[in-house]
Amino acid sequence: MMHFADSLTFSGRKVVAAWAALPFPALSGSSLPDILSAHQQDVPWKLLSSWREQKVSCCFAQSVVLRGICPEKPTSCPGQPPSPLHSCESPEQVLQQFLHSQFPGAFSTSHVLQQPCDTQPPFPQFFSPLLTRRGFLLDKPQGFSSAGVESVPVLAALQSCPGLRSLLSGLRRELRARRCSRFSTAGLEQDDFQEALEELETLSQCYETGFGADGSEDEGDSD
C-alpha cells in the first residue's frame, strides 16, 4: 500500500485519501454509462478518511477500481440525447472519461473488473432491503432479509487532493495542544516532538492549490 500511495504522490506529498462506494449505486440492468450519467454533479462514492470536507472538486492524482458492473448495453433516458459516456467503447473508457470530466487535469488511472465483492457470511450483513441478492438497487424493498445479499458491486479510490491540507493541519493542531509532556513517557524528546510538528506543517503546505482557499482556516495557526 505504501508503494501504491507513492505512485499517486509527487511534489513532496506523501498522503492520499480513501474513498469507497459499497455497494456502488447501480440499478439492476443499468449500463455503466447510464449509472455514471446520473451522477454528473457529484461522484457516487464517499470519503472514508477523517476530515470534515465530504466533497472534493479537484485532485492531483487518483486511482479508481470498479468491480461487479456487467457490461450491459448502454441506453439513455427518453427525451435526452446520449451523453459522451455512451460513445465510449469499453467500461474502462467510460470510467476514465467520467473521471476526466469530474477532475479535469488530474492524473487518473482506472480499472473495471466484472467480478463483484463476495458478501456471504462471515461478511457483515448490514445492507439495505433495497438491494437485490447481487447488490443492485430496487425501487421498493425486497421480500427477503438483507442477509440474503450474496455480492455487491464496489468502487474504491485513493486520491491525492487539496483537502488533505486541512486534515494534516488539524492533526498538527491536535498534537500541539497535547504538548510534549503527553509523549515524554514514551521517550520522545522535546526537539523530536517539535520537529515532527514542523514536518506535518511542511507536508500540509504541499497540498495547497495556490488559490488560498485551502489555507484560510489555518490563518493564525502559528507557534
Is the domain of 44 the same as that of 76? yes
The total number of structural domains in the chain stands at 2
The pLDDT assigned to 20 comes to: 94
The pLDDT assigned to 193 comes to: 81
User: Cell 504541499 appears where?
Assistant: 206
Element containing residue 91 per DSSP (H, E) = helix 91-102
Is the domain of 195 the same as that of 171? yes
Is the domain of 149 the same as that of 94? yes
Is the domain of 29 the same as that of 91? yes
Cell of 48: 472514508
Does the residue 211 lie in any domain?
no
Is the domain of 136 the same as that of 193? no
pLDDT digits (tens, 9 = 90+) for 29-78: 888 998 898 887 788 888 887 666 656 778 899 999 999 987 655 555 55
Is the domain of 68 the same as that of 175? no
Is the domain of 71 the same as that of 142? yes
Cis peptide leading into 84, omega within 30 of 0? Answer: no
The pLDDT assigned to 128 comes to: 84
The pLDDT assigned to 219 comes to: 40
Does the residue 221 lie in any domain?
no
Is residue 196 within 8 Å of 171, Cβ to Cβ? Answer: no
What residue numbers bound the domain in which 3 lies? 1-160
Is the domain of 67 the same as that of 26? yes
Is the domain of 13 the same as that of 118? yes
Whole-Å CA distances, 211 to 58, 81, 162, 205, 215 = 13, 36, 11, 12, 9
Does the residue 213 lie in any domain?
no
Per-position pLDDT tens, the chain of length 223: 888 888 888 888 989 989 999 999 998 888 899 889 888 778 888 888 766 665 677 889 999 999 998 765 555 555 455 678 888 888 999 999 999 999 998 999 999 999 999 998 889 888 888 888 899 998 877 665 556 889 999 999 999 988 888 889 888 888 887 766 666 666 777 788 888 889 999 999 999 876 433 444 444 444 4
Is residue 217 within 8 Å of 174, Cβ to Cβ? Answer: no
Does the residue 212 lie in any domain?
no
Is the domain of 151 the same as that of 170? no
Is the domain of 117 the same as that of 55? yes
Does the residue 217 lie in any domain?
no
pTM: 0.78
Q: What percent of the chain has pLDDT over 70?
A: 79
Is the domain of 18 the same as that of 70? yes
Does the residue 88 lie in any domain?
yes
Does the residue 45 lie in any domain?
yes
